Amino acid sequence: MKKIILVVAIAMLTVFGASAQEKKDKTYVDGVTNIRIGYTGIAQCADENLLGGVDFGFNIIELGVRPYDNGKISLGVDFNLNVLHAAENYYFNTADHKTALVPSLGIFNKVKSSSLDFISFGFPLNFTSTFGGKVALTIGASAKINLNAETNVRYVSITDDLTNTSISGIETSRFTYDIHIGLVYSDFGIYASYAPMMMLKGFGPDFSYFTVGAIFTHK
């Protein structure tokens, strides 16, 4: 899955660079208006061994209207990948489409890393206002469709072999939402979001999470 995401990311970067252009129409349709990379943190979880990780995303398409020169209201489609990690000496033990964080002691010689990856498609409704021609403030909320999650374990086996195991198909909450904000100067800025729910429906730890990071945009 990560190789596919890398290919998609390179393609999006190419489109992003090629499509940057000034738009003055009152209504517009645009593709790849932003690319985001940052940190996913755990806001709340009963299991303290679930840790944060990577947030990566980009806008696929955006439809908008400019009610006045310095403001716009838009509806879009976003791609998002979140990677969460297990605490040291813990790993995601996955079977029958269920996963749990369990101690690795006595199971492996050493766990190098263990992650929970999930992809979602968001439908953000945003309001953006520009100040001084270069500073843009965006606030909004997204309805999100979450795909099934995947766990990965990289470990040294009892025979001292370095092994990687990936298991997909872990059920998540199919529909969630987030609230988000972004502050951009020229074409670079920062963003933050909060998703108040992500349940694995008895298939693993339930948690809420936040993201913060850098955002690259074009007008």
Here the CATH number for the domain that contains residue 65 is 2.40.160
pLDDT score recorded for residue 8: 54
Tokens of 121: 């498609």
Residue numbers of the domain that contains 145: 2-217
Tell me which H or E stretch contains 207: strand 207-217
Tell me which H or E stretch contains 83: strand 71-86
Encode 129-161: b = buried (16+ Cβ within 10 Å), e = exposed.
ebeeeeebebebebebebeebbbbbbbeeeeee
Q: How many residues does the chain have?
A: 219
pLDDT score recorded for residue 13: 52
pLDDT score recorded for residue 96: 81
**pLDDT averaged per 10 residues, the chain (length 219):** 53 50 72 94 92 96 92 96 94 86 81 93 97 93 95 85 88 93 96 88 80 90
In degrees rounded to 5, what are phi and psi of residue 87?
-65, 165
pLDDT score recorded for residue 195: 95
- Report how many domains make up the chain: 1
Measured CA to CA, the distance from residue 94 to residue 5 in angstroms comes to 22
pLDDT score recorded for residue 20: 43
End-to-end alpha carbon distance in the chain: 31
